[in-house]
Amino acid sequence: MTIRFDDRVAIVTGAGGGLGRSHALAFAARGAKVVVNDLGGSAFGEGASSTPAQKVVDEIIAAGGEAVANYDSVLDGDKIVQTALDNFGRIDILVNNAGILRDKSFHKMTEEDWDLVYNVHVKGAFKVTHAAWEHLREQNYGRIIFTASASGLYGNFGQANYSMAKLGLHGLAQTLAIEGRSKNILVNSIAPVAGSRMTETIMPPEVVEQLKPEFVSPLVLWLASEANSDNSGGVYEVGAGYMAKLRWERTRGVAFALANGISADDVAAQWERITSFDDATHPSSGQEAMMDMFANLQKR
Ligand SMILES: NC(=O)c1ccc[n+]([C@@H]2O[C@H](COP(=O)([O-])OP(=O)(O)OC[C@H]3O[C@@H](n4cnc5c(N)ncnc54)[C@H](O)[C@@H]3O)[C@@H](O)[C@H]2O)c1
Protein backbone atom coordinates (compact mmCIF):
# COMPACT_ATOMS: atom_id res chain seq x y z
CA MET A 1 0.00 0.00 0.00
CA THR A 2 1.57 3.28 -1.09
CA ILE A 3 -0.92 5.64 0.53
CA ARG A 4 -0.33 5.18 4.26
CA PHE A 5 -1.26 7.15 7.39
CA ASP A 6 1.19 5.70 9.93
CA ASP A 7 1.76 8.19 12.77
CA ARG A 8 -1.09 10.34 11.44
CA VAL A 9 -4.18 11.10 13.53
CA ALA A 10 -7.52 11.52 11.79
CA ILE A 11 -10.81 12.83 13.16
CA VAL A 12 -13.91 11.74 11.27
CA THR A 13 -17.11 13.40 12.48
CA GLY A 14 -20.41 11.56 12.22
CA ALA A 15 -18.46 8.32 11.80
CA GLY A 16 -20.93 6.03 13.57
CA GLY A 17 -22.54 4.96 10.28
CA GLY A 18 -22.79 5.56 6.55
CA LEU A 19 -20.00 7.49 4.85
CA GLY A 20 -18.20 8.50 8.06
CA ARG A 21 -17.92 4.89 9.22
CA SER A 22 -16.51 3.89 5.84
CA HIS A 23 -13.92 6.72 5.93
CA ALA A 24 -12.91 5.83 9.52
CA LEU A 25 -12.43 2.13 8.70
CA ALA A 26 -10.44 3.00 5.57
CA PHE A 27 -8.11 5.41 7.41
CA ALA A 28 -7.51 2.87 10.18
CA ALA A 29 -6.82 0.08 7.68
CA ARG A 30 -3.98 2.20 6.30
CA GLY A 31 -2.39 2.91 9.65
CA ALA A 32 -4.08 6.10 10.90
CA LYS A 33 -5.10 6.54 14.51
CA VAL A 34 -8.74 7.55 14.27
CA VAL A 35 -11.11 9.55 16.46
CA VAL A 36 -14.54 8.16 15.63
CA ASN A 37 -16.95 10.95 16.51
CA ASP A 38 -20.71 10.48 16.51
CA LEU A 39 -23.49 11.98 18.56
CA GLY A 40 -25.62 8.94 17.76
CA GLY A 41 -28.94 10.70 17.18
CA SER A 42 -31.52 10.18 14.44
CA ALA A 43 -31.11 11.28 10.83
CA PHE A 44 -33.34 14.25 11.75
CA GLY A 45 -31.17 15.43 14.65
CA GLU A 46 -33.10 13.92 17.57
CA GLY A 47 -31.60 12.05 20.54
CA ALA A 48 -28.10 10.79 21.26
CA SER A 49 -26.34 7.47 21.83
CA SER A 50 -22.79 6.25 22.34
CA THR A 51 -23.49 2.96 20.53
CA PRO A 52 -22.79 3.88 16.86
CA ALA A 53 -19.33 5.42 17.48
CA GLN A 54 -18.35 2.66 19.90
CA LYS A 55 -19.36 -0.06 17.42
CA VAL A 56 -17.11 1.44 14.73
CA VAL A 57 -14.22 1.70 17.20
CA ASP A 58 -14.76 -1.97 18.11
CA GLU A 59 -14.67 -2.88 14.41
CA ILE A 60 -11.41 -0.99 13.88
CA ILE A 61 -9.76 -2.55 16.92
CA ALA A 62 -10.95 -6.03 15.92
CA ALA A 63 -9.26 -5.49 12.54
CA GLY A 64 -5.98 -4.58 14.28
CA GLY A 65 -6.31 -0.80 13.98
CA GLU A 66 -6.23 2.05 16.49
CA ALA A 67 -9.25 4.20 17.29
CA VAL A 68 -11.04 5.99 20.07
CA ALA A 69 -14.69 7.02 20.29
CA ASN A 70 -16.04 10.50 20.94
CA TYR A 71 -19.76 11.07 21.49
CA ASP A 72 -19.92 14.87 21.51
CA SER A 73 -21.88 16.95 19.07
CA VAL A 74 -19.78 18.70 16.45
CA LEU A 75 -21.07 21.87 18.10
CA ASP A 76 -18.60 20.97 20.87
CA GLY A 77 -15.76 20.78 18.37
CA ASP A 78 -13.07 21.61 20.91
CA LYS A 79 -13.93 18.45 22.89
CA ILE A 80 -13.56 16.32 19.77
CA VAL A 81 -10.15 17.80 19.02
CA GLN A 82 -9.20 17.38 22.69
CA THR A 83 -10.04 13.66 22.41
CA ALA A 84 -7.47 13.38 19.61
CA LEU A 85 -4.85 15.28 21.63
CA ASP A 86 -5.51 13.36 24.86
CA ASN A 87 -5.35 9.96 23.23
CA PHE A 88 -2.91 10.38 20.36
CA GLY A 89 -1.08 13.66 21.05
CA ARG A 90 -1.80 15.33 17.70
CA ILE A 91 -4.24 15.87 14.84
CA ASP A 92 -3.36 15.73 11.14
CA ILE A 93 -6.57 15.02 9.27
CA LEU A 94 -10.13 16.21 9.77
CA VAL A 95 -13.08 14.92 7.81
CA ASN A 96 -16.15 17.07 8.48
CA ASN A 97 -18.87 14.57 7.70
CA ALA A 98 -21.55 14.77 10.43
CA GLY A 99 -24.94 15.76 9.14
CA ILE A 100 -28.71 15.64 9.49
CA LEU A 101 -31.73 16.43 7.34
CA ARG A 102 -34.84 18.52 7.91
CA ASP A 103 -36.36 18.35 4.43
CA LYS A 104 -39.44 20.46 3.73
CA SER A 105 -40.52 22.69 0.89
CA PHE A 106 -39.56 26.27 1.69
CA HIS A 107 -43.07 27.50 2.49
CA LYS A 108 -43.39 24.84 5.20
CA MET A 109 -39.87 25.24 6.58
CA THR A 110 -39.66 26.61 10.11
CA GLU A 111 -36.87 28.71 11.56
CA GLU A 112 -36.07 25.71 13.77
CA ASP A 113 -35.56 23.49 10.66
CA TRP A 114 -33.29 26.17 9.22
CA ASP A 115 -31.24 26.68 12.41
CA LEU A 116 -30.83 23.00 13.21
CA VAL A 117 -29.44 22.15 9.77
CA TYR A 118 -27.20 25.23 9.80
CA ASN A 119 -25.96 24.41 13.30
CA VAL A 120 -24.99 20.80 12.67
CA HIS A 121 -23.48 21.20 9.19
CA VAL A 122 -21.98 24.70 9.19
CA LYS A 123 -21.51 25.81 12.78
CA GLY A 124 -20.48 22.27 13.78
CA ALA A 125 -17.89 22.03 10.99
CA PHE A 126 -16.67 25.52 11.96
CA LYS A 127 -16.29 24.53 15.62
CA VAL A 128 -14.29 21.35 14.94
CA THR A 129 -12.17 22.96 12.22
CA HIS A 130 -11.48 26.08 14.28
CA ALA A 131 -10.35 23.98 17.25
CA ALA A 132 -8.06 21.91 15.01
CA TRP A 133 -6.72 24.83 12.95
CA GLU A 134 -4.13 26.18 15.41
CA HIS A 135 -2.62 22.70 15.82
CA LEU A 136 -2.41 22.19 12.06
CA ARG A 137 -0.79 25.61 11.63
CA GLU A 138 1.74 25.00 14.39
CA GLN A 139 2.88 21.70 12.93
CA ASN A 140 2.85 23.02 9.36
CA TYR A 141 0.71 20.14 8.15
CA GLY A 142 -2.96 19.39 7.78
CA ARG A 143 -5.56 17.89 5.49
CA ILE A 144 -9.24 18.82 5.81
CA ILE A 145 -12.23 17.51 3.88
CA PHE A 146 -15.66 19.12 4.00
CA THR A 147 -18.74 17.18 2.97
CA ALA A 148 -20.81 19.26 0.58
CA SER A 149 -23.63 17.88 -1.55
CA ALA A 150 -25.13 17.96 -5.03
CA SER A 151 -28.08 19.69 -3.34
CA GLY A 152 -25.79 22.61 -2.54
CA LEU A 153 -24.14 22.65 -5.96
CA TYR A 154 -27.34 22.38 -8.00
CA GLY A 155 -30.25 23.01 -5.58
CA ASN A 156 -32.88 20.40 -4.72
CA PHE A 157 -36.58 20.61 -4.01
CA GLY A 158 -37.33 20.47 -0.29
CA GLN A 159 -33.76 21.16 0.80
CA ALA A 160 -33.44 24.95 1.08
CA ASN A 161 -31.78 24.69 4.50
CA TYR A 162 -29.56 21.76 3.55
CA SER A 163 -28.43 23.19 0.20
CA MET A 164 -27.58 26.52 1.88
CA ALA A 165 -25.47 24.67 4.45
CA LYS A 166 -23.75 22.40 1.95
CA LEU A 167 -22.69 25.10 -0.49
CA GLY A 168 -21.71 27.24 2.51
CA LEU A 169 -19.27 24.52 3.54
CA HIS A 170 -17.59 24.65 0.16
CA GLY A 171 -17.32 28.44 0.44
CA LEU A 172 -15.60 27.93 3.79
CA ALA A 173 -13.33 25.26 2.29
CA GLN A 174 -12.25 27.57 -0.55
CA THR A 175 -11.18 30.32 1.85
CA LEU A 176 -9.45 27.91 4.24
CA ALA A 177 -7.57 26.51 1.24
CA ILE A 178 -6.24 30.03 0.59
CA GLU A 179 -5.45 30.74 4.26
CA GLY A 180 -3.96 27.30 4.92
CA ARG A 181 -1.74 27.04 1.84
CA SER A 182 1.38 28.63 3.39
CA LYS A 183 1.13 26.25 6.37
CA ASN A 184 0.75 23.15 4.21
CA ILE A 185 -2.91 22.76 5.18
CA LEU A 186 -4.85 21.51 2.16
CA VAL A 187 -8.63 21.80 2.20
CA ASN A 188 -11.10 20.22 -0.22
CA SER A 189 -14.80 19.39 -0.47
CA ILE A 190 -16.62 16.34 -1.71
CA ALA A 191 -20.20 16.07 -2.92
CA PRO A 192 -20.83 12.38 -2.32
CA VAL A 193 -23.62 10.03 -3.28
CA ALA A 194 -24.02 6.89 -1.18
CA GLY A 195 -26.59 4.55 0.24
CA SER A 196 -27.11 5.38 3.92
CA ARG A 197 -29.92 5.96 6.38
CA MET A 198 -29.99 9.50 4.98
CA THR A 199 -30.72 8.36 1.42
CA GLU A 200 -32.79 5.25 2.19
CA THR A 201 -35.90 7.43 2.54
CA ILE A 202 -35.57 8.75 -1.04
CA MET A 203 -34.00 5.86 -2.97
CA PRO A 204 -35.24 2.30 -3.61
CA PRO A 205 -33.56 -0.33 -1.37
CA GLU A 206 -31.68 -2.01 -4.26
CA VAL A 207 -30.08 1.34 -5.23
CA VAL A 208 -29.18 2.12 -1.60
CA GLU A 209 -27.58 -1.33 -1.41
CA GLN A 210 -25.48 -0.77 -4.55
CA LEU A 211 -24.30 2.77 -3.74
CA LYS A 212 -21.66 1.69 -1.27
CA PRO A 213 -20.01 4.36 0.94
CA GLU A 214 -16.80 2.39 0.28
CA PHE A 215 -16.85 3.80 -3.27
CA VAL A 216 -16.48 7.32 -1.83
CA SER A 217 -13.81 6.84 0.85
CA PRO A 218 -10.81 6.26 -1.49
CA LEU A 219 -11.08 9.84 -2.80
CA VAL A 220 -11.27 11.16 0.77
CA LEU A 221 -8.16 9.17 1.67
CA TRP A 222 -6.26 10.40 -1.37
CA LEU A 223 -7.11 14.05 -0.68
CA ALA A 224 -6.18 13.58 3.00
CA SER A 225 -2.86 11.92 2.26
CA GLU A 226 0.66 13.30 2.27
CA ALA A 227 0.91 12.17 -1.35
CA ASN A 228 -1.58 14.91 -2.17
CA SER A 229 0.83 17.81 -1.98
CA ASP A 230 -0.96 20.48 -4.01
CA ASN A 231 -4.67 19.81 -4.56
CA SER A 232 -6.55 22.30 -2.42
CA GLY A 233 -9.79 24.28 -2.67
CA GLY A 234 -11.42 21.80 -5.03
CA VAL A 235 -14.82 20.19 -4.98
CA TYR A 236 -15.29 16.66 -6.23
CA GLU A 237 -18.43 14.73 -7.09
CA VAL A 238 -18.04 11.13 -6.03
CA GLY A 239 -20.31 8.09 -5.90
CA ALA A 240 -21.00 4.70 -7.46
CA GLY A 241 -17.35 4.46 -8.46
CA TYR A 242 -17.48 7.75 -10.39
CA MET A 243 -15.20 10.66 -9.38
CA ALA A 244 -14.92 14.08 -11.02
CA LYS A 245 -13.75 17.59 -10.19
CA LEU A 246 -15.95 20.65 -10.64
CA ARG A 247 -14.93 24.22 -11.39
CA TRP A 248 -16.55 27.54 -12.14
CA GLU A 249 -17.23 28.35 -15.75
CA ARG A 250 -17.94 31.91 -16.92
CA THR A 251 -19.09 33.22 -20.25
CA ARG A 252 -16.63 35.45 -22.09
CA GLY A 253 -18.93 38.29 -21.02
CA VAL A 254 -19.47 41.77 -22.37
CA ALA A 255 -17.57 44.88 -21.31
CA PHE A 256 -19.75 47.94 -21.99
CA ALA A 257 -18.25 51.29 -22.86
CA LEU A 258 -18.69 53.46 -19.76
CA ALA A 259 -18.71 56.93 -21.29
CA ASN A 260 -22.46 57.15 -21.90
CA GLY A 261 -23.70 54.96 -19.02
CA ILE A 262 -25.32 51.52 -19.30
CA SER A 263 -29.05 50.99 -19.63
CA ALA A 264 -31.30 47.96 -19.16
CA ASP A 265 -31.85 48.12 -22.94
CA ASP A 266 -28.09 47.74 -23.47
CA VAL A 267 -28.23 44.62 -21.30
CA ALA A 268 -31.17 43.27 -23.33
CA ALA A 269 -29.34 43.95 -26.59
CA GLN A 270 -26.25 42.06 -25.40
CA TRP A 271 -28.06 39.26 -23.53
CA GLU A 272 -27.04 36.55 -25.97
CA ARG A 273 -23.35 37.44 -25.63
CA ILE A 274 -23.61 37.87 -21.83
CA THR A 275 -25.01 34.36 -21.49
CA SER A 276 -23.26 32.45 -24.29
CA PHE A 277 -20.83 29.81 -23.07
CA ASP A 278 -19.06 29.65 -26.44
CA ASP A 279 -15.48 30.52 -25.65
CA ALA A 280 -16.10 30.27 -21.87
CA THR A 281 -13.40 31.00 -19.28
CA HIS A 282 -12.63 29.33 -15.94
CA PRO A 283 -11.55 31.87 -13.33
CA SER A 284 -9.83 30.17 -10.44
CA SER A 285 -9.55 33.05 -7.97
CA GLY A 286 -11.39 36.21 -6.99
CA GLN A 287 -8.49 38.29 -8.32
CA GLU A 288 -8.55 36.54 -11.68
CA ALA A 289 -12.34 36.90 -11.84
CA MET A 290 -12.13 40.67 -11.36
CA MET A 291 -9.47 41.27 -14.01
CA ASP A 292 -12.00 41.82 -16.81
CA MET A 293 -13.79 44.42 -14.68
CA PHE A 294 -10.66 46.40 -13.92
CA ALA A 295 -9.54 46.10 -17.54
CA ASN A 296 -12.83 47.74 -18.53
CA LEU A 297 -12.25 50.62 -16.10
CA GLN A 298 -8.88 51.24 -17.70
CA LYS A 299 -10.53 51.73 -21.10
CA ARG A 300 -12.13 54.95 -19.84
N1 LIG B 1 -25.48 9.75 1.42
C2 LIG B 1 -25.47 10.63 0.45
O3 LIG B 1 -25.81 10.34 -0.71
C4 LIG B 1 -25.01 12.02 0.71
C5 LIG B 1 -25.10 12.96 -0.31
C6 LIG B 1 -24.60 14.25 -0.11
C7 LIG B 1 -24.06 14.56 1.11
N8 LIG B 1 -24.04 13.65 2.13
C9 LIG B 1 -23.45 14.05 3.39
O10 LIG B 1 -22.56 13.05 3.84
C11 LIG B 1 -22.48 13.09 5.27
C12 LIG B 1 -22.71 11.70 5.81
O13 LIG B 1 -24.04 11.30 5.55
P14 LIG B 1 -24.53 9.80 5.45
O15 LIG B 1 -25.27 9.69 4.16
O16 LIG B 1 -23.43 8.85 5.74
O17 LIG B 1 -25.67 9.77 6.58
P18 LIG B 1 -25.65 9.20 8.08
O19 LIG B 1 -26.90 9.68 8.71
O20 LIG B 1 -25.41 7.72 8.05
O21 LIG B 1 -24.36 9.87 8.72
C22 LIG B 1 -24.35 11.09 9.39
C23 LIG B 1 -23.79 10.86 10.78
O24 LIG B 1 -23.62 12.12 11.43
C25 LIG B 1 -23.97 11.94 12.79
N26 LIG B 1 -24.34 13.22 13.40
C27 LIG B 1 -25.47 13.95 13.19
N28 LIG B 1 -25.47 15.06 13.93
C29 LIG B 1 -24.30 15.06 14.62
C30 LIG B 1 -23.70 15.97 15.53
N31 LIG B 1 -24.33 17.09 15.90
N32 LIG B 1 -22.49 15.67 16.03
C33 LIG B 1 -21.85 14.53 15.67
N34 LIG B 1 -22.38 13.62 14.82
C35 LIG B 1 -23.58 13.88 14.29
C36 LIG B 1 -25.13 10.97 12.77
O37 LIG B 1 -25.32 10.34 14.03
C38 LIG B 1 -24.71 10.02 11.65
O39 LIG B 1 -24.03 8.88 12.14
C40 LIG B 1 -23.51 14.13 5.71
O41 LIG B 1 -22.86 15.37 5.93
C42 LIG B 1 -24.43 14.23 4.52
O43 LIG B 1 -25.10 15.47 4.49
C44 LIG B 1 -24.49 12.39 1.94
In CATH terms, the fold of domain 247-300 is Helix Hairpins (1.10.287)
pLDDT given for residue 122 in this prediction: 98
Atom 9 of ligand 1, nearest CA residue: 147
Edge-to-edge strand list for the sheet holding 235-239: 66-70, 33-37, 9-12, 93-96, 142-147, 185-193, 235-239, 242-246
Q: How far is the CA of 182 from the centre of ligand 1 (A)?
A: 31
Pocket of ligand 1 (CB under 6 A): 13-14, 16-20, 37-41, 43, 52, 73-75, 97-100, 120, 124, 147, 149, 192-194, 196-199
Whether 9-246 and 247-300 share one fold: the answer is no
Q: Is-catalytic flag, 118?
A: no
pTM of the shown model = 0.98
pLDDT given for residue 300 in this prediction: 77
Parallel, antiparallel, or unpaired for β 9-12 and 33-37? parallel
Domain ranges of the chain: 9-246, 247-300
pLDDT tens-place values along the chain, 300 residues long: 699 999 999 999 999 999 999 999 999 999 999 999 999 999 999 999 999 999 999 999 999 999 999 999 999 999 999 999 999 999 999 999 999 999 999 999 999 999 999 999 999 999 999 999 999 999 999 999 999 999 999 999 999 999 999 999 999 999 999 999 999 999 999 999 999 999 998 899 999 999 999 999 999 999 999 999 999 999 999 999 999 999 999 999 999 999 989 999 999 999 999 999 999 999 999 999 999 999 999 997
Contact 145/223 with Cβ under 8 angstroms? Answer: yes
pLDDT given for residue 201 in this prediction: 86
Which one is catalytic: 71, 154, 162, 236? Answer: 162
In CATH terms, the fold of domain 9-246 is Rossmann fold (3.40.50)
